[in-house]
Amino acid sequence: DAGVIQSPRHEVTEMGQEVTLRCKPISGHNSLFWYRQTMMRGLELLIYFNNNVPIDDSGMPEDRFSAKMPNASFSTLKIQPSEPRDSAVYFCASRKGTSGYEQYFGPGTRLTVT
Amino acid sequence: SQQGEEDPQALSIQEGENATMNCSYKTSINNLQWYRQNSGRGLVHLILIRSNEREKHSGRLRVTLDTSKKSSSLLITASRAADTASYFCATDSWQGGSEKLVFGKGTKLTVNP
């Protein structure tokens, strides 16, 4: 199995631009998570999906952030408009089943907003 | 605020020594998980311990859970330079009718050869 795939691996953009991060979970996993990691705030859960349905989006910072999961093999995290404080590493993770199983993390997307 | 808080924030030891990291949390949990992150990489799951378990082993890893004290510890025995990484605990709990997953800020472990 290829593991969780994220693209792009690095993204540099200017403030105000739209940014779209992509994730392909492990086949057969039905839960998908988006995290943001910064030195100051650590690893924060932004949103998670179960069977393509958003279950908890309380971690999404503000309306500039949106996430979709149109099917079991693809998810996007969009930031529009982007701001310098959005600079972070964004991780996608997937999991088989619900509570009680481990998460498998992708390699992350390093986002820099100038 | 973060549910899991690791202690210490940083730990430096010599190869062959044991490393102990602690995690404290605030609410009742379903399970607690430990993950490892090498610099610039994604997190890798190490071990999961359920709320009704007290101790679990996996190779050189030993995890304990004390639900009365709301704390867990990760022990790495006979450490190696390759164990250098950041280690995170993550709590899995039910709050407000939905599952909550919260990671701590991690312990940065350096194992000197």
More confident residue, B94 or A36: A36
pLDDT band at B2; cut points 50, 70, 90:
very low
- Does A99 have pLDDT greater than 90? no
Identify residues of A whose CB sits under 8 angstroms from chain B CBs.
4, 33, 35, 42-45, 48, 55-56, 91, 93, 98-108
More confident residue, B61 or A97: B61
The neighbouring-strand residues paired with A109 are A90
Q: Contact B101/A45, CB-based, under 8 Å?
A: yes
- Count of CA atoms in the C-beta half-sphere (13 A) of B89: 29
Lowest mean pLDDT among A47-51, A85-89, B98-102, B109-113: B98-102
- DSSP code for A65: E
pLDDT band at A6; cut points 50, 70, 90:
very high
A108: closest CA of chain B, how far (Å) = 6
pLDDT tens per residue across span B29-70: 999 999 999 998 999 999 999 999 999 999 999 999 999 999
Q: Which residue has tokens 């839960």?
A: A31
Residue A50 CA to residue A29 CA, distance in Å, equals: 9
Residues B16-28: what's their mean pLDDT? 94
Residues A108-114: what's their mean pLDDT? 98
Q: Contact A99/B31, CB-based, under 8 Å?
A: yes
Phi, psi of A84 (to 5 degrees): -55, -35
The pLDDT value given to residue B110: 97
The pLDDT value given to residue B33: 95
Degrees to nearest 5, angle at CA A112 with A106 and B3? 55
A41: closest CA of chain B, how far (Å) = 8
Q: Contact A56/B102, CB-based, under 8 Å?
A: no
Q: Residue B17: what residue type?
A: E
A chain contacts of residue B45, beta-carbon cutoff 8 Å: 102-104
Average pLDDT, chain A: 94
The pLDDT value given to residue A106: 96
Q: Contact B102/A33, CB-based, under 8 Å?
A: no
- Does B3 have pLDDT greater than 70? no
pLDDT tens per residue across span B66-95: 999 999 999 999 999 999 999 999 999 887
The pLDDT value given to residue B7: 82
Lowest mean pLDDT among A93-97, B59-63, B95-99: B95-99
- Does B101 have pLDDT greater than 90? no
- Does A81 have pLDDT greater than 90? yes
Residue A17 CA to residue A83 CA, distance in Å, equals: 8
pLDDT tens per residue across span A44-56: 999 999 999 998 8
